[in-house]
Amino acid sequence: MPGMLRMRVFAGPNGSGKSTMYQQVRTTVVNDRPVDLGVYLNPDEITKKLKDGAEIDIRKEFGVVPDRARFVRFAVRSGLLRGPFDLQALRSAFRLRRSILQLLRQDLVDEISQLLTAYLCELLIKHRKKFSFETVFSHPSKLQLMEHARARGYKVYLYFIATNSAEINKDRVITRVLQGGHDVPADRIEKRYELALKQMLPALNTCYHGFVFDNSGAKPVVFAEVKQLEDARVWSWNLKAIPDWFIRSYLLPVGNIQLARRVLEERKAD
């Protein structure tokens, strides 16, 4: 339905393959039309532009008009100001004239990118626009955003991707850096890996339609899908593709021992 409000969340730990998953979804055809992803927010792309010294015209790129005072107030209540990134640091870190944002402190580029992405999500919801965004999904504010969007009438789609080990993610980030991509410290990858998997469970229970991908191998594989119908949440499974990380992070915590056993039996049969 063209008029339906949708928010699409592309989530997973650093190095899991969120951008690859996004491209896969973007080219998917439903009812003879490509999936409408609306306005697209990628914190990594915002970070790269700011690191390169580029200004960001928020109205031109994202279709909403920011306000400096409201941005600062949002930051205060977001939970994203912590440690050395306090209110004073925030105010010194950027300039916003009309709708054009300029970074003034390169040492805070990651923090500003994360905060700006969260603020833009709120603005897009306020103006009732379809949009999609990428996230490592390690902060509780992302779950709160899903719940907020749902309360405002959005159908929330979740595309979650992970691998069997944070070691895989660390290796892929190293490969990405060698190809000119951005780096993430190894300890941060490990921490975010565990936090993202922990938040996956409530996220799958919150979304209207969810898809779960495993990217432990050569390419992402969808192994689970859940959809909220009028009277029930309905799951579809590819039993042979369900990975260990999903068993330990979802099936066992929700008490679905029977399905976990079926998965192991399928593996033995092969």
The terminus-to-terminus CA distance of the chain in angstroms comes to 42
Structural domain spans, the chain: 1-38+130-270, 45-129
**pTM summary value:** 0.94
- The whole-angstrom separation of Cα 126 and Cα 149 is 9
Report the SS3 class of residue 102: strand
User: What is the reported pLDDT for 38?
Assistant: 96
Phi, psi (5° rounding) for residue 267?
-65, -40
- The whole-angstrom separation of Cα 209 and Cα 155 is 8
User: What is the reported pLDDT for 3?
Assistant: 67
Helices assigned H by DSSP within 79-233: 87-93, 109-126, 140-151, 166-178, 186-206
Q: Which fold has domain 1-38+130-270?
A: Rossmann fold (3.40.50)
CB 45 within 8 A of CB 106: no
Q: What is the mean pLDDT of each run of 10 residues along the chain (270 residues)?
A: 84 94 89 91 93 94 96 94 94 95 95 96 97 96 96 98 97 91 91 98 97 96 96 95 98 96 88
